[in-house]
Amino acid sequence: MKKIILAVALIAATLSAKAWHIRYDQGVLLAAAQNYNPATRLLVQRYVGEDFSKPANYLASLRKEGKHLETADWHKLHLNADLKPAATDDKDAYVQIEKALEILRNHKQHNEKSVRFALCTVMNLVIDMHNLSNVAIEGVANSGTDFQFTSSKGTANGRPAKYFPSSWKELWTSRYIFQHSGYTPAMWANEFELMFGDQKTHYSAGTLADWSNDIGQYTKKVHDVLEANEGKFLHATIQEHEDLHMSCMARAVYRIAALLNENFK
């Protein structure tokens, strides 16, 4: 009986984590929408409706319906040792964002379905490329993979920390979000504006290649810390990186807005 209860609890926790992750991405898109210029805002609304957070899980939803299964390979950002885009095929976020932007720049020449797909692809993949677990860097071991590292829950009453295996993807995709599980998408959007609104001009400056280099630098620094600690992240180290996690997603907020304001008119 205890095993059944534990199994149900684990399934519930997994489903809840997915829900938190979606709400977080919805918050990113709501915050981005607050930074669309009027013309872009009207265009986006035409293709996604009045709820600007709706496309947050667009590509994954299509795959659940058995459509566009190829998009499962699009979420990673591949960089060379100099942190420049280095994709060798179409299975790359940078490549697919560029293709989608070309459609958005010429949206009047494409049907509604194609434009909606391109628009939501930009939104989803810009978020994905700012998730440090999705960044694969030449020469950086395990980067861009969901590897197991060792973490701790901290210490209590002076006792030594207890270490346990953890998922690298889970850390950057859901653990920080789990710590604020009561947040709604609107609350996340407000949090981005409150914490990083004064950085929006800085974050949105540059090109997609510049932003790839920027996120690559942070990814490499985190892997360097992990390597220096022999594959272990103390609880305190994980907590120290929460602001980095938030700032990377804030970059996604303002960069989605910048790309659409520039390319979707």
CATH of the domain at 187: 1.10.575.10
What pLDDT shows up at residue 181? 83
Between residues 96 and 181, which one has the greater pLDDT? 96
Residue 135, SS3 per DSSP: strand
Rounded CA gap, 112 and 126, in Å?
A: 21
Using 50, 70 and 90 to split pLDDT, how confident is the model at 17? very low
Q: Please provide the average confidence, as pLDDT, over all residues in the chain.
A: 90
Return d(Cα 7, Cα 147) in angstroms, integer. 23
- Give the tokens for residue 173: 């995709």
Return all residues near 235 (Cβ < 8 A) that are at least 6 apart: 151, 152, 153, 154, 155, 161
Smallest Cα–Cα separation from 209: which of 156, 157, 255, 142? Answer: 255
DSSP 85: B
Name the band, by pLDDT with cuts 50, 70 and 90, for residue 134: very high
CB 78 within 8 Å of CB 87: yes
Which domain does 180 fall in, by range?
A: 2-263
Asked whether the predicted pLDDT for residue 154 surpasses 80, the reply is no
Tens digits of residue pLDDT in 115-127: 999 999 999 999 9
Taking residues 58-65, report their average pLDDT.
97
pLDDT at 159: 65
Residue 179, pLDDT score: 83
| Measured distance CA(213)–CA(209) in Å, rounded | 6
pLDDT computed for residue 21 by the predictor: 73
pLDDT-based confidence at residue 19 (cuts at 50, 70, 90): low
The Cα 65–Cα 75 span in angstroms is 18
The whole-angstrom separation of Cα 55 and Cα 123 is 7
How far, in Å, CA of 42 to CA of 265, rounded? 9
Helices (H) and strands (E) in the chain, counts: 12, 5
Cα 198-199-204 angle, rounded to 5 deg: 130
Model pLDDT, residue 7: 38
pLDDT in tens, 216-226: 999 999 999 99
Take residue 27 and report the two structure tokens written for it: 């918050």
Would you say 151 and 161 are in contact if contact means Cβ atoms under 8 Å apart? no
pLDDT class of 11 with cuts at 50, 70, 90:
very low
Q: Kindly report, residue by residue over 177-215, the tens digit of the pLDDT.
A: 888 888 999 999 999 999 999 999 999 999 999 999 999
Number of domains in the chain: 1
51-60: average pLDDT: 96
Residue 20, both tokens? 């938190």
